[in-house]
A = this chain, B = another copy of it.
Amino acid sequence: MSDLPSHVHIHEEGPREGIQIEPANLSVAEKVSFIEALAQTGVKQIDCVSFVNPKRVPTMADADEVARAIRKKPGVRYTGLWLNQQGLERALSLPLDVVGSIRMTASETFSLRNTNRTIAQTEDEQRSWLSTYRKHGVPLEWGYVMTAFGCSFEGEVPVANVVAMVGRIIDLAAEFDFSLKGIYLADTVGFATPLDIEQRIGAVRERWPDMKIGLHLHDTRGTGMANVYAALRMGVDQFDSSVAGLGGCPFAEHKGAAGNVCTEDIVFMCHEMGIETGIDLEALIECARMAEGLFGHGLPGKVMHAGSLARFRAAA
């Protein structure tokens, strides 16, 4: 028997993921209108911007302006992603919802190549963030284990390393008297199959039976939705995803590869299986189509092109 949850919670990552990787240079007004449309769908958390070097990611140069221009809808959290202390300070200076997180990478090589820091150095960086959270009354929520299912430099990431990394994150939180809401396992480079999902979630739960698990999945090799289903069967009810399947993999080995799992495809599958999301699927499909218009090309989402089943049921 499966243990499907009754309600799934989604963190919408489409604006950040899309703006970050798409070459199209949207205006501030376009970015804001996209974010505001998403907020009308019932999504409760939207990742809007990232605080990165504008020389490396020019399309994020106006992140502050975007953050300031959004007309916020009550009950929706508008977040940004920082990768260092400087980015965190920038987030704190803006009218955004700053939600504390711990972000560690299970692969040492990936950590070095992606952030120029060893795992030990990343741990120190997290202490700096945690101390800032304490100072500013920022709540800590999720700990993220990146490359939890494999690494494009190291290949396999042993299950034991993932479990060890979860332990380090729990210890880090405890050092600053925080308790975590749960742990996100991230398939950063799209290696996971459903069996990996079962094995790795199983290993974390064996050690910490009550730990809430979230998943950040990429559909790089077509297993994204199968992985979502495998996780749902295990009662996982927390996912990151991107409207229209926006995103991609900025690593050279994956040029042209697919992005994050697609929000409206997940919402469609959940609703059809009797799982609530609190999201209006038709409104979300409209946002996905809006994204194709804004970014100027077809996007990988499926239900956005085929439509939901509502009209067939109405016709029947």
Contacts and interface: CB of A to CB of B under 8 A. Distances in A.
B312 A222 contact: no
Nearest to A311: B253
Interface of A: 150-156, 190-191, 193-196, 219-226, 228-230, 249, 253-254, 256-258, 262, 265, 268-269, 272-274, 300-303, 305-309, 311-313, 315-316
23 contacts: A153-B315, A153-B316, A155-B313, A155-B315, A156-B316, A194-B273, A195-B274, A220-B302, A221-B268, A221-B302, A223-B225, A223-B268, A223-B269, A224-B225, A225-B225, A249-B306, A253-B307, A253-B311, A254-B306, A254-B307, A257-B302, A258-B302, A258-B306
Contacts of A265: 221-223
Nearest to A232: B194
Contacts of A222: 225, 262, 265, 268-269, 301-303
A147 to B, nearest CB: 11
A280 to B, nearest CB: 17
| A-B pairs with lowest CB-CB distance, top 3 | A155-B316, A222-B265, A222-B302
Contacts of A153: 312, 315-316
Specify how many copies of this chain sit in the oligomer.
2
Contacts of A273: 193-195
Nearest to A261: B222
A56 B239 CA distance: 44
Contacts of A220: 302, 306
A32 to B, nearest CB: 28
Contacts of A257: 302, 305-306
A127 to B, nearest CB: 30
A258 B305 contact: yes
Nearest to A220: B306
Nearest to A312: B155
A222 B308 CA distance: 11
Contacts of A219: 302
The interface centre, meaning the residue of A225, A226, A308, A313 with most chain B CB atoms within 10 A of its CB, is A226
B272 A312 contact: no
A269 B190 CA distance: 12
Contacts of A223: 225, 265, 268-269, 272
Contact of A230 (B193, B229, B249): B229
A281 to B, nearest CB: 11
Given A193-B269, A268-B222, A269-B226, A150 B309 contact: yes
Nearest to A223: B269
Contacts of A307: 253-254
Nearest to A224: B225
Nearest to A303: B221
Contacts of A300: 300
Given A193-B269, A249-B306, A254-B306, 9 more contacts: A153-B312, A153-B315, A155-B315, A190-B306, A191-B312, A195-B274, A222-B301, A222-B302, A229-B229
